[in-house]
């Protein structure tokens, strides 16, 4: 998925806009595209499917029981990270250059 899923909602019922933009789920259940460091949506994802996602370079590599965040900031000169399935082996290489200047949005 590009950004994320809301736990407890079937795939066919997920909001496509949120799937493309979400980054955090707040304690009150509010889903947001804004970065809240202590509230990544993926820490709430209870599977059973494992979700691979991006769109969260600020947090970097994220590993939870049922979610793996692969955005390690390649476009900003960081790293490009892949997950090899089915063993969930992570492979990472350095970006060749900075493709876009990083501007923190929060």
* pLDDT the model gives residue 105: 61
Domains delineated in the chain: 11-94 (3.60.21.10)
What string of DSSP letters covers 39-94?
-BGGGG---SS-EEE-S-TTT-SEE-SSEEE---BGGGTSEEEEEETTTTEEEEEE
Regions of the chain with pLDDT less than 70 = 104-106
**Quick one: pLDDT at residue 102?**
77
What pLDDT score does 106 carry?
Answer: 56
Whole-model pTM: value is 0.88
């Amino acid at each position: 998925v590009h950004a994320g899923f809301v736990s407890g909602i079937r795939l066919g019922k997920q909001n496509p806009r949120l799937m493309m933009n979400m980054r955090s789920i707040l304690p009150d259940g509010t889903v947001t595209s804004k970065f809240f460091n202590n509230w990544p949506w993926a820490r709430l994802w209870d599977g059973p499917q494992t979700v691979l996602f991006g769109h969260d370079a600020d947090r970097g590599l994220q590993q939870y029981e049922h979610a793996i965040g692969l955005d390690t900031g390649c476009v900003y000169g960081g790293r490009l990270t892949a997950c090899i399935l089915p063993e969930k082996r992570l492979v990472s290489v350095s970006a060749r250059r900075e493709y876009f200047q990083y501007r923190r949005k929060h």
